[in-house]
Structure 1
Amino acid sequence: MQFNNVLRYTLLFLFAVQQLYWLIGYFKAEKLKPRTKKDTLVNIIERTLIKAVYFVIFIQLLGVNILQFSNNNFLVLSGFILSIIGIIISISARKEIAANWTCSDNYQIKKNHSLVTSGIYRYIRHPIYLGMGISFLGVELLVQSYLIFFAPLGTLMIFYWAKREETLLTKYFKKDYLKYKRKTKMFLPFII
């Protein structure tokens, strides 16, 4: 059980660092490239849902077991490794996209927006979503919660956000984005 707690607290720390990085990046991006549109009710609902997911993850990592199904060290270690991989992917992608990043709940083209096709974006179009999905899946494996069965719903939400972004990016960047789409995959290099 102590091994499990060490991994939980390590992930809790890494998620906190990731969220701090996101928050700092958010304010920098807003300063360099301010929003161009107001929030809608849908944006507010999506943001609330995202915050609720993070809240559940944080309390689970603090040791609150929600619908726990077993105590298997293999699942704990597998979940930890998946979460680390997901955090690395999402932070590296966030760093690459820099001031062009906007929150998924209020995605928009900003002033002087540019199409990022370097780094991990050379291979996949939505690495932040991929990283977040992998890390959330990893947490649910680590804490061994039946909440893992919500993963398909989370995948649908990620796919919805990605498609919404692609529609907007195609409208703004036109042929450049269509060319970029032909060269890359949505989430997994060479697969999907």
Structure 2
Amino acid sequence: MTHRSHTLVSHTVIDSPYGPLTLVAADGRLCGLYMEGQRHRPPQETFGAYDPQPHAQGSVFARTREQLEEYFAGARTDFDLPLALAGTGFQRTVWQALQGIPYGETVSYGLLAARIGRPTASRAVGLANGRNPVGIIVPCHRVVGASGALTGYGGGLPRKQRLLAFERAGSAREEAS
């Protein structure tokens, strides 16, 4: 995660049912959501200054915390936050496509590759998926292997399994009502 010197980068840490989440913002837009022990987590020094007042009304940290709390309570199925996703053009295309996977559903890497017009790029899609800087909100956990098997997840397979089970249960509640 490289930032120009004039970009204001800051971070905070919030609690979640999946352990502490480090939120990173650049110029008022969320650019990172990282779990403890996450693969491809950038070095701490790239997260900018610690924000001791992340709950300031209207701040991206306050909005993110509020929307995550609603998500974990089963009251939110998608997110409406200003994002600043730093990556290659291909990675950003994949991350945009991830945001189109409905809550409680999964797609294979191959299907996601086809959706972005690159049907032979499932391996590259998997690599881009693994580099997603804003887990949960950009739902990389909703991508599975061709057989439906759970495959790699930057936050660890147990977290991926829990997130998918949580969303499936929420989808079942919605369909029943």
Q: Which has the larger radius of gyration?
A: 1
Q: Whose helix fraction is larger, Structure 1's or Structure 2's?
A: 1
Q: TM-score range by the shorter chain?
A: 0.3 to 0.5
TM-score, structure 2 as length reference: 0.32
TM-score, structure 1 as length reference: 0.30
